[in-house]
Amino acid sequence: MSCSCLSKKLIAGVVLSLFLSMTSGSQIQPFVKLSVRDYEDFSRIIIEPSFPLSFEIEKGSSFLLVKIAIDVPFRIQKDPFESRIVRSFGWTKGRDYYILTIKTKPVDFSYDYFVLNNPTQLVIDFYEVDEEGRRGREADKEIKSRLDSALSREKEDSAPQEIKTIIVDPGHGGMEPGAKGKFGTLEKDITLAIALKLKTFIERNMPVRVVLTRTGDTSVSLERRAAIANYNKADLFVSIHANSSFRKDAHGSETFFLSNESTDDEARRLAYLENNPADFDEGIGGDSQDELTMILWDMAQSAYLKESSTFAETIQGELNFLLRTKDRGIKQAPFKVLTGVACPAVLVEIAFISNPEEERKMKTEWFQNNVVEAIYRGLENYINLYYRK
């Protein structure tokens, strides 16, 4: 065989090897195939990944979150669909995971799921909830009961003899981290750390029960937080958050109580961000039943606006004194987490996590302990004003 023929064969072999390498590389690119199918009593979504499947599922109002563990980009294969229950899909990227958001047309739904092998498939079945049936009647009954209780307490010219239960609400959590600081500090971590300390401090110094809306890094909907307070017959409700602003020099603490109108543009913006924690591609809408429910809950909370205003003042005064930060005062805004609570309720923005200096402070034991002591003193001052000895 001549050298020329040998060289040609070697070149052809190299080219073929490169071609096979390139084509095989393209074939192993990760992908997820989505399909939707309606049946008589339910809608089914099939999630078929080309890689080993590790997932978590969490339910919200009008949506389901599927957290898929994978740290490399992948392709989405999805055919157009029409479904009685499923509205749309959305994607959010995390550090080493992706979150698939499945939005539903019904305001509420139930679901079930199972996993098939060969090929791997996550199958999720969605069922409509009869809004006119059991759930609707129970929700209306609970709302009316809370509303009657709130209004009757407002009419009484005396406060209860003692408080028994305080709800402490660490903002955000789980798949919703809240605001993030320049140095990577997450709002959800700061609020939980302070809430755990506050629970211990209150129970050590007051004969009351303290209930946290979350005790770990878990997702809790805004509606669920209010429901926890009402189920436990809360006497006081404190929601803890870390503020954020596009202005890096914004600093200080502020305390909010509920109002349909915002005190200023910043308060309006903050309420919007807190009320819409997940930045999805479509808004999560409600229907007339949702709007009626929120109106009734708002009426229940309105019975406590005067008390909530005083409660906010007592806490803000102590924050100013102990933290030595700028006094941003007390403000009003339509925070959804406060709307459904049938007791005096406030939302405390301890400092600005968007401000690098305050971000550093809020990670320290000194700062967190002072926040705890300030909120505790505010609670104590409020109780001395409104509750009989």
What is the greatest pairwise CA distance in the chain? 111
- 74 and 172 share one domain: no
pLDDT at 279: 38
Distance CA 263, CA 132 (A): 38
pLDDT at 357: 93
- 252 and 115 share one domain: no
Would you say residue 326 lies in a domain? yes
- 245 and 364 share one domain: yes
Distance CA 225, CA 171 (A): 10
- 199 and 146 share one domain: yes
Q: Which of 204, 239, 251 is nearest to 373 (CA)?
A: 204
- 123 and 138 share one domain: no
Distance CA 302, CA 344 (A): 9
Would you say residue 6 lies in a domain? no
- 123 and 186 share one domain: no
pLDDT at 64: 87
Q: CB within 8 A of 366, min separation 6: which ones?
A: none
Q: CB within 8 A of 182, min separation 6: which ones?
A: 354, 356, 359
CA angle 385, 387, 389 (to 5 degrees): 105
CB 50 within 8 A of CB 77: no
CA distances from 18 to 6, 24, 29, 86 (A): 18, 10, 17, 44
**Local structure of residue 101 (DSSP, 8 states):** E
Distance CA 181, CA 361 (A): 12
- 250 and 265 share one domain: yes
**Local structure of residue 352 (DSSP, 8 states):** E
- 108 and 148 share one domain: no
Distance CA 114, CA 122 (A): 6
pLDDT at 146: 53
- 332 and 210 share one domain: yes
Would you say residue 246 lies in a domain? yes
Number of domains forming the structure of the chain = 2
Last residue of a domain, one of 75, 110, 128: 128
Would you say residue 17 lies in a domain? no
Q: Which of 274, 337, 341, 251 is nearest to 305 (CA)?
A: 341
Would you say residue 10 lies in a domain? no
Sheet containing strand 327-333, strands side by side? 209-212, 165-170, 236-243, 345-352, 253-258, 327-333
- 97 and 170 share one domain: no
CATH number at residue 73: 2.60.40.3500
Q: Encoding tokens for residue 248?
A: 């890096």
- 227 and 362 share one domain: yes
The 3-state DSSP class for residue 238 equals strand
Would you say residue 343 lies in a domain? yes
Would you say residue 244 lies in a domain? yes
Report mean pLDDT in 10-residue bins for the chain, 389 residues.
51 49 54 90 91 85 84 81 88 77 83 88 87 46 51 47 90 90 94 96 94 93 85 93 84 78 44 43 34 46 77 90 72 66 89 93 94 94 77
The 3-state DSSP class for residue 157 equals coil
H/E stretch holding 267 reads: helix 265-275
pLDDT at 337: 66
The 3-state DSSP class for residue 366 equals helix
pLDDT at 96: 75
CA distances from 164 to 5, 142, 167, 382 (A): 94, 21, 10, 14
Domain around 263: 134-386
Q: Which of 318, 350, 345, 316 is nearest to 330 (CA)?
A: 316
pLDDT at 331: 66
- 224 and 322 share one domain: yes
CA-CA-CA-CA torsion sign (176, 181, 184, 190):
negative
Last residue of a domain, one of 128, 162, 190: 128
Would you say residue 81 lies in a domain? yes
CATH number at residue 290: 3.40.630.40
DSSP one-letter string for 57-99? EEE-SSEEEEEEE--S--EEEE-----SSEEEEEEEE-SSEEE
- 118 φ, ψ to 5°? 55, 70
Last residue of a domain, one of 103, 128, 153: 128
**Local structure of residue 10 (DSSP, 8 states):** H
